[in-house]
Amino acid sequence: MRTPISIALAATLAGPVLAEAPSPLSPVLVTATRSPQPLDQSLASAVVFDREAIERSQALDLVELLRHAVGVEISRNGGPGGASTVFLRGANSNQTLVLVDGVRVSSVTTGAAAWEQLPLDQVERVEIVRGPRAALWGSDAIGGVVQIFTRVPDGGSARLSAGRYADYFAGVGIGGRSGNLTIGGSAGRRTVEGFSAQNANGFGFDPDDDGYRYTDLSFGLDWQDGESILSLRSFSRDGEIEFDQGDSEAINRGASLSWQGTAGAWRPSLQLGWSMDDVDTPAFGSVFETRRWSADLSAERAIGEQHQLTLLANLLNESGRYGDAFAGDLFDQDRGALALAGLWQWRLGAHRIEAALRVDDYDGFGSEWSPRLGWSWELTPNLRLISSAGEGFRAPNFNELYFPGFGGQFAGDPNLDPERSQALELRAEWRAQAQWRWALSTYRNDVEDLIAFAGVDFQAINIARARLQGVELEGRWDGEATWVEGSMAWQNPLNRDTDQILPRRAKRNAHLAAGWAFDDSLALGAEIDYASRRFDFGQPLDAYSLLALTADWRLNPDWRVQLRGDNLTDEDYELASGFNTPGRSLSVTLRWGQ
């Protein structure tokens, strides 16, 4: 079983309100309601990449995979390993919550997730939920939530990859089941010689190659006894990133221990989580350290055949340190938070309602209330209308609160308020049997009290405002041996104080992909990604289109050879002003195992 056994068990325990028959091809979505439900029954705008889709993409890191999802834009400072940002529906990168097996993994000092440090070889599935989710997940979920589920190998597997820029990867996994126990682990190593991260327009430009190296380990264990299950997940990733002024060492670790079962009519679960995120940059003499502990207790039950109630409680402790080689510790702080939440789901005929409310009480700025309401109406067996409204917030990171600044300038402020948002969304979904699926969404998300370094001393203050609005069109067709999918997003992520488009965000993005299977041994694919013109703090970034082709040849049930060609037109483009991007490149992958 390659899907995490805890998800499979939770699906069997789901109450009657979720028991409607799904489409035969509908994947399972967990993040939207914190319990499994078929994607085609969810009220959320979401994308799920399962293990098959991840392997088909041949992507090595999360950033490469996410760029194909509707509503997602990426930016990267140079090649693999370069600092990366992900914009979900135009929201800032630190306004998207990132979870690994339910545990937060962003830095509490900078507020950003190390997207570039999240390899895919040990990942079972990735869920992307667009729109505010603070009503169930709390801080950071203004643009949405990206959750990564790691895998427990069943049997043995291995992967070898090689590509342009001396990009090499080797990974192995082994695991199995014995009675009630499922156990397994994986290891991987990637080295990239790379290319110059910056071009002549970059600060401190040096034309040498800037490489990247990382080692990652993961371990998982599931113990099932009847309707109870105990799960352990852990990961460790050590990376070294070169850039024109020097290099950085990044360490990311995380672990979770969870239990779920039954207690009468209730289905309780408990999860304990821990994560760390350290970045050491000797060239700048800086060290950023994050430690985070969490405890989540939830219980859900069906009430009759039409209602389901979920209750949640969360404890969170975060600590962060910013050290300087010359001045010592510039800050070493911690904070705690307590949250309580509830979700009510009601199905009545063709109508479905979800109402959620959460309160987060943080040290430093008090309580934040986050409501969310969703409603869907199945007009016909093929057509469904969905509307939703919700609020979100982002707690200030420690740099914004405590950074001492430089000579009194660019200093943090411990009295900052959270950033807050209010959002509305309308969505129409149409499907014809298992072949055709279309969805059209329109949304608006007003964000206030944005934190910016402004004023005479450029101190951190709540001053800025943004309006994120747009339209998304997505569709897919599945034939017997062919599939086609595409998406188009029109958006206007606007700084309301300057009437300027937010940096590095395009007004138009598009994705088109198709695949052909020839018997059971050969599959071919093609994809095109497009982004319109963008601006990076006043500097224009031209529109671009990227063409990729893939081939997947299964030699026998155990061995596969994959080929991927990227940027085949050798497009010269930028994702960030002053930083280079890869040219035309080819990679080859050899896989063994199931």
Residue 18 backbone dihedrals phi, psi, to 5 degrees: -105, 10
pLDDT at residue 15, rounded to an integer: 38
Burial of 225 (0-12, 13-18, 19+ CB in 10 A): exposed
pLDDT at residue 409, rounded to an integer: 83
Name the 3-class secondary structure at 106: coil
Both tokens of 325, joined, read 């080689």
Closest residue by Cα to residue 150 from 218, 214, 69, 65: 218
145 near 99, Cβ under 8 Å?
yes
- Convert 70-112 into a string of H (helix), E (strand) and C (coil): CCEEEEECCCCCCCEEEEECCCCHHHEEEEECCEECCCCCCCC
pLDDT averaged over 10-residue windows placed end to end, the chain, 594 residues: 41 41 69 94 96 91 92 94 93 96 94 87 95 97 97 93 97 95 96 91 81 95 94 96 87 96 95 96 89 97 94 98 84 96 96 98 92 97 97 96 84 94 98 88 97 83 94 94 96 94 96 93 96 93 97 95 97 94 97 87
- Convert 220-241 into a string of H (helix), E (strand) and C (coil): EEEEEECCEEEEEEEEEEEEEE
- Name the residue type at position 561: V
Distances (CA, A) of 19 to 9, 12, 41: 14, 10, 10
What Rg value do the Cα atoms of the chain yield, rounded?
Answer: 23
End-to-end CA gap in the chain: 10
Closest residue by Cα to residue 358 from 397, 323, 314: 314
Residue 453 backbone dihedrals phi, psi, to 5 degrees: -90, 105
- Euclidean distance between CA atoms 108 and 111, whole angstroms: 5
Distances (CA, A) of 588 to 113, 160, 161, 216, 565: 29, 8, 6, 21, 9
What does the angle CA 435 – CA 440 – CA 442 come to, to the nearest 5 degrees? Answer: 160
Cβ-Cβ contacts under 8 Å for 133 (sequence gap 6 or more): 31, 32, 97, 141, 144, 145, 372, 390, 392
- Strands annotated E in 433-481: 436-454, 459-478
Look-up of token digits 């079972």: 124
The CATH number of the domain holding residue 44 is: 2.40.170.20
Both tokens of 79, joined, read 């090649």
Most distant CA atoms of the chain, gap in Å: 68
For residue 95, the 8-state DSSP code is: G
Distances (CA, A) of 47 to 29, 68, 130, 462, 474: 9, 10, 9, 33, 11
Name the 3-class secondary structure at 496: coil
Distances (CA, A) of 163 to 77, 189, 562, 582: 20, 14, 12, 12
101 near 233, Cβ under 8 Å?
yes
- Euclidean distance between CA atoms 177 and 173, whole angstroms: 14
pLDDT at residue 588, rounded to an integer: 98
- Euclidean distance between CA atoms 122 and 150, whole angstroms: 6
Range of the domain at 378: 5-593
Distances (CA, A) of 342 to 72, 330, 339: 29, 39, 10
Q: How many domains does the chain have?
A: 1
